[in-house]
Structure 1
Amino acid sequence: MGEKIVFCKGGGCTAKLGAGILNRVLEKLPKGPKDENLLIGYDSRDDAAVYKVSDDTAFVQTLDFFPPMVDDPYTFGQIAAANALSDIYAMGGEVKTALNIVCFPETMDLNILGEIMRGGSEKVIEAGGTLAGGHSIQDSDVKYGLSVTGLVHPDRIYSNNGGYPGDVLILTKKLGVGIVCTASRVQEAKEEDMKEAVSSMIQLNKYASEICRKYEIHACTDVTGFSFLGHLHEMLDGRLSAEVIAEQIPVISGAADYANEFLLTAAGQRNRNHVGPYVEFEHVPFAMEEVLFDPQTSGGLLIAAAPDQAERLLVELREAGLPASAVGTLTEKKEKEIYVRGQR
């Protein structure tokens, strides 16, 4: 087991470039001629690209890969695949094909690579997709993920910025996996807390997305490396504000305790620096602030649902075994973009 420590140095979505840095690069890229069939591209800050091929069919493209955040290779493969597949579900699509993306040291045991890819393959199969190939390179560190293609009807795409004032914000998974994984890496996390975090990360958003199709959904995104508040900021798109109720945020057991012990990530602090100016906290404990800035790996869907349908949607999500919660509402644009309110 000598390679175990080398295998997990800390990864997942904490390895993402900060949103501020990324925006400065993307805004300088040449756009080229506009393609009317490209319904959603990178300039929208959405979860995946969507390209229309006919009046009733568009394909959804995404890719995601990162270093391990857990010691077990098979579990890492499951998490990385679930995370990559999630972008298709955040757009309201169905997974069709996936390609492996692999970086792996030639000196490391190939059985480790086999276990990573087995975990990923099983998640693709669970998603109803087909693993169609991939690409690998020799690297000094392990990285794994997928390029995924899905299908969606052009009129039923879930963009991340289509919300209206009054929409109810529903979150389908608990927050705090980044903090718990950090605590685990320094042997400070309880075993049951880490198990809860892993169980959340390997859960496909397929089931939540399928339930959402029965209801009026105005916007949807998956909560990953830019944190709950970072992805909510993108959802608001500079034209709306949001009221968030801190006590209704579902949180992984132990995450708040570890945050109070300052077992935090650099990515979480980048998120705070980038999004913090848009947020006003009222009577919110430090630990909950950190949970809301915590980068999530394979996080849940954040849904803006029509107010007259939100309760029924929430009931069905919970009946499916998901820890879904109504965490706030969208409002007209106010002085601050996001208000997070706690108990006095």
Structure 2
Amino acid sequence: MMRPLLQQQRTDERLLIGISEPDDAAVYQMDDQTALVFTADFITPVVDDAYMWGAIAAVNSMSDVYAMGGRPALVLNIVGFPKDMPTEIATKVMEGGFTQVREAGALVVGGHTVEDEEPKFGLAVIGFANPNQLLRKGNAKPGDYVVLTKSIGTGLLAKCGKHAVIAKEHLDIAQRSMLTSNKVASEVAITHRLSAGTDVTGFALLGHMSEMANLSHVQFDISYDSIPVLPGALIQAKDGSYWPTKTWENQEYFGGTIEFSPNLQSFQKDLLFSPETSGGLLVTVSADKLENVLSDLRVKGQVGHVIGRVAAGEGIVVRP
């Protein structure tokens, strides 16, 4: 549907990444050392607390800039609130977002608000990066290790939280995970000159991994047992009562390129298709850099989980 429209768009050699080369954000080169990184994202409430929702939405929106190897600088609020939403609730949402933007070292410079029956909040974000140090989905190489910086399960646990079928401590852990910025992981990736990466959000772990494998023309060989999962998520997955709807959409769209070991159960596969909110970075690391990257993450208070290898071929293979 978009292709005829794209043919009408003028070309610009300074546009390094745009809609014809999809990645986590658009990138426009300003000079030899500076590129503008531009993205936008918004979400519906994932938790009941208004401040927490606003904070998570902001972290989630800025994540795409970090996933490109950039740093957020300016943001615009994207707001869709019901007409009858109490002012104090709306203020709390905005306050939560503002706090995270400030912690990221960026500035809120405006925004746009519309009336919407289903509440939505997020950010349009402008950041900056070195055009020679971008993280790209299509740069994975055979022999690389696949590293994930956050546990999965946020989407499932948030859905269960709305139905009050989850232990409070498990929901609290999920909220802390969603509030954890990818800033540190991105800085480590750039410090060690990594070139391939993305963040794990609505397309779930397997969806975003599929994008990387497809654009890099490689195969991802993944160990299921090495994938970090948030406490409570496996229990809820096995129960199977409250999957986010997008789980099945992801499965239908990406499932054809994924080969599962027959030893894996259905709920285990479904968890890998379940959408994430404000998930971690998924990067590939060459063997000679792996130890230093993992060590640097630990020193800075984060954990890198080695979940597989990159091989010649195509698609994804998931083993126990």
Instruction: Give the TM interval when normalised to the shorter protein.
Output: over 0.9
The 2-side partners of 1:284 and 1:41 are apart by 38
Residue 140 (structure 1) aligns with: 117
Are positions 1:270 and 2:246 aligned together?
A: no
Q: Is the 8 A contact 2:79 2:121 kept in 1?
A: yes
The 2-side partners of 1:26 and 1:318 are apart by 43
Where do 5+ consecutive residues of structure 2 fail to align?
Answer: none
Residue 81 (structure 1) aligns with: 58
Are positions 1:303 and 2:280 aligned together?
A: no
Which residue identity lines up with residue 48 of structure 1 in the other structure?
Answer: A
State how 1:113-152 maps to structure 2 within 5 Å: 113-152=90-129
- Larger CA deviation: 177-186 vs 76-85: 177-186
Per-residue Cα deviation, 1:292-342 (whole angstroms, up to 9, x for no partner): 1110000100001122111221122133232420111111115xx100000
Q: CA deviation at 1:54?
A: 1.2
What is the percent sequence identity of the aligned residues?
Answer: 38
Q: CA deviation at 1:154?
A: 1.1
Residue 259 (structure 1) aligns with: 237
Secondary structure at 1:243 match in 2: strand
TM-score normalized with structure 1 length: 0.89
Residue 30 (structure 1) aligns with: 6
The 2-side partners of 1:142 and 1:213 are apart by 36
The 2-side partners of 1:148 and 1:217 are apart by 23
Q: CA deviation at 1:33?
A: 2.3
Which residue identity lines up with residue 243 of structure 2 in the other structure?
Answer: L
Where do 5+ consecutive residues of structure 1 fail to align?
Answer: 1-24
The 2-side partners of 1:70 and 1:117 are apart by 15
Residue 333 (structure 1) aligns with: 313
Which residue identity lines up with residue 93 of structure 2 in the other structure?
Answer: I
State how 1:286-301 maps to structure 2 within 5 Å: 286-301=266-281
The 2-side partners of 1:248 and 1:198 are apart by 22
The 2-side partners of 1:225 and 1:142 are apart by 18
Which residue identity lines up with residue 311 of structure 1 in the other structure?
Answer: E
Q: CA deviation at 1:28?
A: 5.0
Are positions 1:244 and 2:244 aligned together?
A: no
Residue 12 (structure 1) aligns with: none
The 2-side partners of 1:60 and 1:267 are apart by 27
- The alignment covers a number of residue pairs equal to 316
The 1-side partners of 2:117 and 2:86 are apart by 13
Residue 312 (structure 1) aligns with: 292
Per-residue Cα deviation, 1:191-243 (whole angstroms, up to 9, x for no partner): 11111110000111011111222213120100000011100111112511110
Aligned-residue CA RMSD (Å): 1.3
Are positions 1:60 and 2:37 aligned together?
A: yes
The 1-side partners of 2:161 and 2:212 are apart by 31
State how 1:175-214 maps to structure 2 within 5 Å: 175-214=152-191
Secondary structure at 2:121 match in 1: strand
- Larger CA deviation: 266-275 vs 210-219: 210-219
The 1-side partners of 2:237 and 2:276 are apart by 14
Q: Is the 8 A contact 1:242 1:338 kept in 2?
A: yes
Q: Is the 8 A contact 1:174 1:323 kept in 2?
A: no
Which residue identity lines up with residue 254 of structure 2 in the other structure?
Answer: V
Q: Is the 8 A contact 1:265 1:294 kept in 2?
A: yes
The 2-side partners of 1:256 and 1:44 are apart by 35
Q: CA deviation at 1:178?
A: 0.9
Q: Is the 8 A contact 1:201 1:299 kept in 2?
A: yes
Secondary structure at 1:339 match in 2: strand
Q: CA deviation at 1:27?
A: 4.1
The 2-side partners of 1:323 and 1:56 are apart by 30
